[in-house]
A = this chain, B = another copy of it.
Amino acid sequence: MPTHDAESGSVSPRPKASDELRQIALEQFAAVGFAGASLQQIADEAGYSKSSVLYHYANKEALLEAAIGPAIDRLGALLQRYIDRGSSLEARTLFVEEFIDFLLEHRLEVYTFVNQGHSLRGIPVIDRANAFIVTLSHTVCDDNASTVEKMRFGVALGGATYSLVAGMDFLDADSLGPAEEVRAALIQLVGELLAPLALPA
């Protein structure tokens, strides 16, 4: 009996419509881009009408805000904690670990704004996210660093998000082991990339 509703548990009580729509919108935004994703297709995929989408979310931008906003806020909090903790090598190591966990939990959100942060400038939630990334880059490595040092951050960020979302295709999807191994691998690789960086002033 796969369809009983009340919250007895286990057997797929249909989730709230707004949540379904938000999740599917997120997948579409990550897959075909914000501009390329249409409200109609999001509605179809979720089994609702386009009007229903616009009932739950005032417009397309509000849907984007709902899809990635909470993750952006969590990133902001994460970053603030890191800054408050002061710059030490242990603090940075801990932050890398926390950031990878954040990335694993919000891959689609991060991938979406990391790869479209430029073209979507002007949308509030995107501007918020971009500001965080700038802060993060200046926190992990200050201005007068060498070219190769400055690029370590970009390669780590882009490499991690890419290999978690887009790279899953030709990386034989899940042939690369359980989630725990992926986590450990990312922590190691990002750690390797950032290790040679001098602590900022």
Residues in A lying within 8 Å of B, measured CB to CB: 31-37, 114-119, 130, 133-134, 137, 143, 146-148, 150-163, 166-167, 169-172, 175-177, 181-182, 184-186, 188-189, 192-193
Contacts and interface: CB of A to CB of B under 8 A. Distances in A.
Given A35-B36, A36-B35, A158 B148 contact: no
Nearest to A160: B155
A151 B186 contact: yes
Nearest to A134: B170
A166 B35 contact: no
Contacts of A150: 171, 175-176
20 contacts: A31-B119, A33-B35, A35-B36, A36-B119, A114-B162, A117-B166, A130-B169, A134-B170, A146-B177, A147-B176, A148-B185, A151-B171, A152-B189, A156-B159, A158-B159, A158-B160, A161-B162, A189-B193, A192-B192, A193-B193
A195 B29 CA distance: 35
Contact of A154 (B119, B159, B177): B159
A125 B186 CA distance: 31
